[in-house]
Structure 1
Amino acid sequence: MTQIRTETDRQATMAQWDAQQRAVASGILRDIAPLQADDLVLTGSETAWLPTGCSVKKGQHFSVSSTGANIVDRDHAVIIQPKYALWVRIGGHGPIRKIIFEKETVFCAWADGEVEAFTKALSLWADMDGAILPGPRDVSEGGIGVSVRLTDAPETNIQPPEHWAFMDIFGEVTIFSGSGTDISVDTHDGDCCILETPVDIPLNDRTRLSWSWLVDKLPSELPEDLVLTHDYISVAVRFDNGRDLTYMWSKELPADYHFACPLPWWCDRETHWIVESGTAKLGLWQDAVRPVASDYRKAIGDPLPGRVVAVWLIANSVFQRIGGKARFRNIRLSEDGTDRTVTAGSGLRCYSIG
């Protein structure tokens, strides 16, 4: 089952986090772009999408510019930037789209109607029509400013590595690059995304997940098992029961330590497993092979899911804003002792050898 550190350990981590964040808070807050007089300002407490005053026809280009941030905790510079939280839709319904660049993101209108804006803050989407899961929507200090206008500028277009896709609830980001089988991750201040590729393989005692990774920089100096320190880079597998198991590298948590995700909603779905610990191997290629079924039983328990349905690459630097950098190669799922294998990024749901 999942492991839990002692309350003393957790308090020590929070004391380290407090000192770390207070030391950098003034610089982070100083870099927030000031709100403009004509901005539509979103506080993060909204429960309904707000009209922006800009109406579009399908095929027209419109730009979304943003300023400010939702300041959750000023003393510790816990902020939610527009590039993570600001979404738009057209005509009162989905699909919804996240901005990519705060200065300006240009969209090609996918419907007729008025452009609406919403800041997700720390909420989670219930669907891609724009409803959010139940939970608190507190007013944040500051605010995210939004300005929308028609434009002739070309559409902002970010492509994920071949055969991978941005998970729709996180939207498009600029932090992943490379080919489908050699992917670089470079998180910046306040980034969060999951890159995914579908697979379809039975989960049994022969199932193995293997990969090579070179981690140059970890996005957390502190144990990642608390909400405010939960910045990390990982490779993960998702199962047909809706749960997922993510494999991480941690500076402080020991190898084989495993824990339920500390974030609301995700805590019932996601479990983290530390594969590498410390900093001695940073900057060096490392190979990893995991017995997925055995890890699942130890970290989550029985019953075992029937199938693995997706492979994920996860990168988060929202909370501490340190950023991280890594490369992944040869991510592979296989059933040892058989001729069945599935290679993440291959674009194939099943590939038979021989």
Structure 2
Amino acid sequence: MTAAKPLTYETDPTSIAAGLKSSFEKASSAIDGSTVLNLAADKEDWIDTGVFVREGQEVSLLSEGVIWLSREHDIQVKGNAALWYRVGNGTIEKSAGRTTTFRAGRDGPLQLACRLAGHWLDDTGRLDPDVPPMPMEGGLTVGVAAWETAAEDGLERLAGSDDTDLARAELERLRSSRPLPKGWDHLWRVGRTDIFCESVTEGRPVLACNCTADSGIIKYPVDVALDRSTTLSWEWLVRALPSEVPENTLVTHDYLSIAVEFENGQDLTYFWSSTLPLETSFRCPIPGWEKRETHIVVRTGQEQVGTWVADRRAVLADYEGAVGGEHPGRVVGVWIIALSPFQRRNGQAEYRKIILSSDTETVEVGP
């Protein structure tokens, strides 16, 4: 087994904050409102930034820092996994990376929170009281800039005087970000990410995933009856697995999968394991997700990594065998999932010809 966790450093929040404040002052003519604040990882409350944004206004969040989930196991995340925002009482959104830019959908005060996916009760930002908080140390230093101009123009100006290099990082992220295939969107509970996009392989469209020290879930909504004839089929090309050890523990739970979501809130994920035996099933080891998610190993090992393979699953039989209890009546979503925050290895895969079907209907999820 090789240690593939990239070097991660803890920054001095005082120097980062000073650098951001100085650069905001120098670019003040492009900025309508700004602030710099520290978000402690052990605080559950939403923090009011003091910046009021207008509907349609572009806003950039520039974060630096480390949040420790376990120093013993060297499990740590950055703003791409834990920085959330909302405007007024609107819906919550997650930063797409360490830095992000968004267009406000309403007028209101901008609020920030430092939380992990899976702890939300709903999309307004209430925490689920049945999910125990995961112990976290550290925090994020976050610069907020509500722009007078277009965000790219403001970031260009800011980058010229930004010693933290966060403005340049956000410019590069914006310019390299690519859209999802038609019909897909980010699952609200996990938030936005740049690890998925539409691409082309061998002359045909695919849904591509490239994930390092990150995580994400995208969803294609469906409404298909669940019965004995219901099947999910797909083709996938896995180029790199994000784990070299069994993925069924919290500290090694890095994987690539396709999943189905049911009307009762449960989901069943079909994943490619590095070492676990075929048809192994287990509940998700991440706190909060163990209530709703079950995993089944449908491919294992390195032998077919790098080649296109096809899989087909009888969804109801899998639900009965792996989840159990009274089964739901409908499938309401198809998901693509990627996780690599624990070991911070790279995982890469491409998906195509995704079809959910039964005797009475067929949904070509695509691409």
TM-score (norm 1): 0.83
Q: Distance in 1 between matches of 2:229 and 2:43?
A: 48
Which of 192, 196, 216 aligns to 2:239? It is 216
Q: Distance in 2 between matches of 1:170 and 1:159?
A: 17
- 2:320 partner SS: helix
Q: Distance in 1 between matches of 2:90 and 2:228?
A: 42
The aligned amino acid for 1:60 is: Q
Residue 166, structure 1, aligned to residue 186, structure 2: yes
Task: Name the CA shift for 1:321/1:161 in 2 (closer, same or farther; >3 Å).
Answer: same
Q: Distance in 1 between matches of 2:339 and 2:84?
A: 18
Q: Distance in 2 between matches of 1:263 and 1:197?
A: 23
Does structure 2 conserve the Cα–Cα contact (< 8 Å) formed by 1:163 and 1:345? Answer: no
- 2:346 partner SS: coil
Which of 44, 47, 58 aligns to 1:47? It is 44
Aligned length, in residue pairs: 319
Q: Distance in 1 between matches of 2:247 and 2:49?
A: 38
Which of 266, 273, 282 aligns to 1:259? It is 282
- What does residue range 251-290 of structure 1 map to in structure 2 within 5 Å? 251-290=274-313
- 2:248 partner SS: coil
Tell me the CA shift for residue 320 of structure 1. 1.2
Residue 309, structure 1, aligned to residue 329, structure 2: no
Task: Name the CA shift for 1:293/1:116 in 2 (closer, same or farther; >3 Å).
Answer: same
Residue 120, structure 1, aligned to residue 140, structure 2: no
The aligned amino acid for 2:49 is: T
Task: Name the CA shift for 1:109/1:122 in 2 (closer, same or farther; >3 Å).
Answer: closer
Does structure 1 conserve the Cα–Cα contact (< 8 Å) formed by 2:119 and 2:133? Answer: no
- 2:319 partner SS: helix
Name the counterpart of 1:342.
363
Name the counterpart of 1:141.
137
Q: Distance in 2 between matches of 1:153 and 1:34?
A: 30
Tell me the CA shift for residue 160 of structure 1. 2.2
- What does residue range 1-354 of structure 1 map to in structure 2 within 5 Å? 28-30=7-9, 32-35=10-13, 36-38=16-18, 39-91=36-88, 93-102=89-98, 104-121=99-116, 124-134=119-129, 135-137=131-133, 140-151=136-147, 152-154=149-151, 159-178=179-198, 182-189=206-213, 191-335=214-358, 338=359, 340-345=361-366
Q: Distance in 1 between matches of 2:61 and 2:351?
A: 33
Tell me the CA shift for residue 110 of structure 1. 2.3
Q: Distance in 1 between matches of 2:41 and 2:137?
A: 9
Task: Name the CA shift for 1:123/1:244 in 2 (closer, same or farther; >3 Å).
Answer: closer
Tell me the CA shift for residue 214 of structure 1. 0.7
- 2:111 partner SS: strand
Task: Write the deviation string for residues 42-71 of structure 1: whole angstroms up to 9, x where unpaired.
Answer: 122222211223222222222211010212
Task: Name the CA shift for 1:277/1:137 in 2 (closer, same or farther; >3 Å).
Answer: closer
Does structure 2 conserve the Cα–Cα contact (< 8 Å) formed by 1:243 and 1:270? Answer: yes
The aligned amino acid for 1:149 is: A
Give the gaps of 5 or more residues in structure 2: 19-35, 153-173
Give the gaps of 5 or more residues in structure 1: 1-15, 347-354
Q: Distance in 1 between matches of 2:52 and 2:188?
A: 24
TM-score (norm 2): 0.80
The aligned amino acid for 1:57 is: R
- 1:37 partner SS: helix
Q: Distance in 2 between matches of 1:245 and 1:315?
A: 14
Using the aligned pairs only, state the percent identity: 39
Task: Name the CA shift for 1:110/1:138 in 2 (closer, same or farther; >3 Å).
Answer: same
- 1:268 partner SS: coil
